[in-house]
Amino acid sequence: MDKIYETFLDELDSILSRGLEKSKDTINVKDVEKRQDKNRDGIDVKDTKSNYNDGKAVLDQNFVSKLMTYIDSLFPNDTKLDSSISYELRKVINVGDGKELKKVRTKVRDLVNKEKMKMIDKLITRLSKVLVEPK
């Protein structure tokens, strides 16, 4: 069984290599010399996750944290959020003893805070990949 498998692989390899050589001759493709970004750009290029960065660097983390603090400050604080949610829920929920209102308000507030944190995390991730020209 092993010999059959080996002969099959040998035949497959020869067919593929002939096909590649034939296709290169047909479309006249020259082999491309691949070089790393550092060799092409010099030694002063900062390493980033991009394939080719032209000497650019990622955004400063201090800037990103200040921006996230500003964006977080745009959202209402918990007290204001609770009172706003309660006010709007009273319009649509039958407020019997208040337990139902409190339960729904807590659930809505937790969902809003969870989604806000997801959005901030996604923004931080995306902003940390932005390339800019350093000063």
Is the same domain home to 128 and 81? yes
**Taking the model in full, what pTM does it have?**
0.54
CA distance 6 to 80: 73
CA distance 58 to 20: 40
Q: Which stretches of the chain are assigned E, i.e. beta strand?
A: 57-58, 131-132
Is the same domain home to 99 and 122? yes
Residue 41 included in any domain: no
Which is more confidently placed, 129 or 6?
129
Number of domains within the chain? 2
* Residue among 57, 44, 79, 59 at smallest CA distance from 123: 59
- Per residue in 51-83, pLDDT (tens digit) is 556 677 888 888 888 988 998 888 888 889 889
Residue 2 domain boundaries:
1-32
Residue 38 included in any domain: no
CA distance 135 to 132: 9
